[in-house]
């Protein structure tokens, strides 16, 4: 069963427009996402049309410029929209985060001509993106990637394999990091690869513990020819572009994690208020109420942390360390909160009759994607020690 609509989160928003966006998002989540999430996850159905709906509603382009069809919204607002989407259905919330990540290279490092040519279709929902950095042998060690792009006249010829690609085989374009020069970070460049390129193919989607409606697949590049004009930034700038995108993307993952945690908390509170044992609701028992209090505190702390990092980004301040902290804390919190939600529901929490078990399975992947939480600790430690 799906939980009843929860009381809206009490948010501090910077404008009336932002409040309207959050209201629109909650309405869309209640109408379009919650009713179908469990059924679609059960059969691994990818909700491609939902992303078009989000594009039509202006929710797929929030942090980008109005001149390209974007919403021109601060990250503080975009992330709270993302949180609401993830609370309704993580496959959609995470999908929007990945699409935003995929647009980052072009929007931030592309030329004016490139942005005018390709960005509007990306932001409208007409095209859905994917971000290609990881490979079978290089996940956390992204600078060791081997997918090769050699210049042949005015085209790059790309050969290699990318792994763990969200929307792999279903995206319309791939922001792809390739090796154009020497080993290491300085030999990496960024190409915007059309999905219909000859020689580009996707393996069958991975069979995952959760997030079945969000396809994750390897991509194979077999002599794929990409116009030179589709290189984003300079040759050798790809690793810088990748890291810049990941800093922002980690905030997206943090917001998604708090969305899942909030959904689990709402379910647990609802259940504890109606389930009776020994003649009274189980929420009246101190052991249960303390657990709910700890869950709520984790959610509020995570939300405050990711919003603090977002406000630094919006102010033009450095936020890499804070993004890593937010991703680390929020995803760990989501894992704890969703596990506790299963416990609150008891035996029912372990069944598919309630979404608690799905929330717990979904929370786990957020500790892994876009840099494992061990990598986040490494990033934070290096900032602290000046290395």
Spatial distance between the Cα atoms of 128 and 288, rounded to a whole number of angstroms: 43
- Secondary structure of residue 350 in the 3-state scheme: helix
Tokens of 312: 């630094």
C-alpha angle 140-145-146 in degrees, rounded to nearest 5: 155
Spatial distance between the Cα atoms of 195 and 206, rounded to a whole number of angstroms: 19
Tokens of 88: 């309704």
> Helical H runs in the chain?
16-28, 34-42, 48-56, 75-88, 90-109, 112-124, 238-274, 286-314, 320-345, 356-366, 373-385
- Tell me which of 41, 76, 362, 370 is the catalytic residue: 370
Tokens of 313: 């980004």
Spatial distance between the Cα atoms of 381 and 374, rounded to a whole number of angstroms: 11
Tokens of 147: 């997918």
Does the annotation count 66 as an active-site position?
Answer: no
Which residues are annotated as catalytic? 370
């Amino acid at each position: 069963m799906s939980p009843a609509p929860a009381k809206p989160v009490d948010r501090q928003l910077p404008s009336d427009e932002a409040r309207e966006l959050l209201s629109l998002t909650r309405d869309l989540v209640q109408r379009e996402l919650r009713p179908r999430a469990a059924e679609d996850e059960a059969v691994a159905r990818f909700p491609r049309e939902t992303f078009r709906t989000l594009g039509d509603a202006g929710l797929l382009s929030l942090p980008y410029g109005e001149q390209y069809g974007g919403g021109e919204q601060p990250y503080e607002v975009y992330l709270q929209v993302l949180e609401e989407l993830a609370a309704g259905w993580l496959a959609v919330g995470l999908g929007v985060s990945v699409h935003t990540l995929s647009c980052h290279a072009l929007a931030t490092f592309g030329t004016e001509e490139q942005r005018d040519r390709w960005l509007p279709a990306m932001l409208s929902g007409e095209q859905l993106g994917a971000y290609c950095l990881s490979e079978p042998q290089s996940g956390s060690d992204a600078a060791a990637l081997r997918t090769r792009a050699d210049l042949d006249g005015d085209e790059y010829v790309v050969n290699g394999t990318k792994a763990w690609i969200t929307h792999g085989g279903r995206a319309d374009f791939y922001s792809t990091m390739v090796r154009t020069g020497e080993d290491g970070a300085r030999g990496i460049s960024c190409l915007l690869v059309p999905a219909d390129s000859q020689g580009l193919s996707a393996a069958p989607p991975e069979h995952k513990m959760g997030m079945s409606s969000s396809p994750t697949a390897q991509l194979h590049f077999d002599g794929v020819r990409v116009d030179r004009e589709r290189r984003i930034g300079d040759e050798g700038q790809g690793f810088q572009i990748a890291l810049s995108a990941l800093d922002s993307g980690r905030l997206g993952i943090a917001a998604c994690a708090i969305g899942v945690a909030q959904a689990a908390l709402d379910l647990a509170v609802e259940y504890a208020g109606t389930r009776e044992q020994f003649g009274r609701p189980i929420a009246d028992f101190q052991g249960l109420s303390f657990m709910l209090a700890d869950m709520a505190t984790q959610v509020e702390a995570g939300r405050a942390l990711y919003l603090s990092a977002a406000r630094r980004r919006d102010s033009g301040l450095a936020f890499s360390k804070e993004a890593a902290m937010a991703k680390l804390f929020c995803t760990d919190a989501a894992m704890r909160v969703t596990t506790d939600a299963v416990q609150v529901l008891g035996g029912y929490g372990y069944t598919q009759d309630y979404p608690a078990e799905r929330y717990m399975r979904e929370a786990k992947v957020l500790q892994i994607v876009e840099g494992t939480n061990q990598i986040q600790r490494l990033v934070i430690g290096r900032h602290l020690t000046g290395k």
